[in-house]
Amino acid sequence: MVVGVMGAMPEEIGPILSRLKNVQKHEVADNIYYTALYGSLDLVVAYSKIGKVFSALTAATMIEKFGVRRMLFSGVAGAISAELHIGDLIAATKLCQHDLDITAFGHPYGYVPEGKVFVEADPHLLELAAKVAYDRGVKLKRGVIATGDQFVADEARKKWIGKTFGADALEMEGAAVAVVCDALKVPFFILRAISDAADMDAGFDFDAFLQSSSQKSADFLFAMLDALDQAQ
């Protein structure tokens, strides 16, 4: 089975690449893709760069060029739900685009004709993640993740996104990956570590958090890869 592992930034795939052997580099569509064998799995690893366009391009390339048949994405997200705190892991049950707006034509936010507001993550991968979390004693929350091409720091905007979409967290890539995978019939899983929340303090160091959360996410994804390998 060919499995794709994506992040948006180099820091998010670094801990994954460091644990693979005989990694091959491929330059395609102005990006670098890494391939390696992990057990019986053929892995394709890449960081997309930030934003919906780059993440959609990377996901489509991984599927069409490298034959990816399962997609795992990991990165950081901001909390909307008061139940999420810095360092928490959340798996997306479904994703939407909070900045997609053609309401002037009578459509709901996040919708375009022949599309849909929400794209649902693969239930089997979600159940696999739940089992991995249970076995490892890791707290994994589930929720709705909203995606947009903007870093949202305004509390009023966050509350609007939460109310409009029922969203628990927001970021800048997930829904774009979801749309591509849904259209190309590739099961996907989106994992996010919460990087900022209402309870964060002024001494928060994002760079240090990114390093630690990337390692934590990598450990979780490798446990999922082990489970997928065993199921082969």
pLDDT tens column, 104-149: 999 999 999 999 999 999 999 999 999 999 999 999 999 999 999 9
| Average of per-residue pLDDT across 198-221 | 73
Residue type, 136: R
| Three-class DSSP category at 198 | coil
Of 65, 89, 72, 69, nearest in space to 16 by CA: 72
What is the rounded CA–CA span in Å between residue 195 and residue 206? 7
Q: What is the pLDDT of residues 143-192, one digit of tens each?
A: 999 999 998 888 899 999 999 999 999 999 999 999 999 999 999 999 99
Query: Which residues have CB under 8 Å from 1's CB, separation 6+?
Result: 40, 41, 42, 69, 70, 228, 232
Which domains, from first to last, does the chain contain? 2-196 (3.40.50.1580)
Q: List 169's β-bridge partners, or say none.
A: 79, 145
What is the rounded CA–CA span in Å between residue 159 and residue 80? 7
Predicted confidence at residue 201, as pLDDT, reads 54
Q: What are phi and psi of 123, to 5 degrees?
A: -65, -30
- Does the CA dihedral 99-100-103-107 come out positive or negative? negative
Please give the positions annotated as active site: 12, 196
Rg of the chain in Å (alpha carbons): 17
Tokens of 225: 């890869």
Q: What is the pLDDT of residues 66-108, one digit of tens each?
A: 999 999 999 989 899 999 988 899 999 999 999 999 999 999 9
Q: What predicted TM-score, i.e. pTM, was given to this entire model? A: 0.93
- Where does the pLDDT of residue 217 fall: very low under 50, low under 70, confident under 90, or very high at 90 and above? confident
Segment holding 207, helix H or strand E? helix 206-231
Residue 199 has pLDDT above 80, yes or no: no
CB of 113 closer than 8 Å to CB of 86: no
Residue 202 has pLDDT above 70, yes or no: no
Length of the chain: 232
Query: Which residues have CB under 8 Å from 30's CB, separation 6+?
Result: none
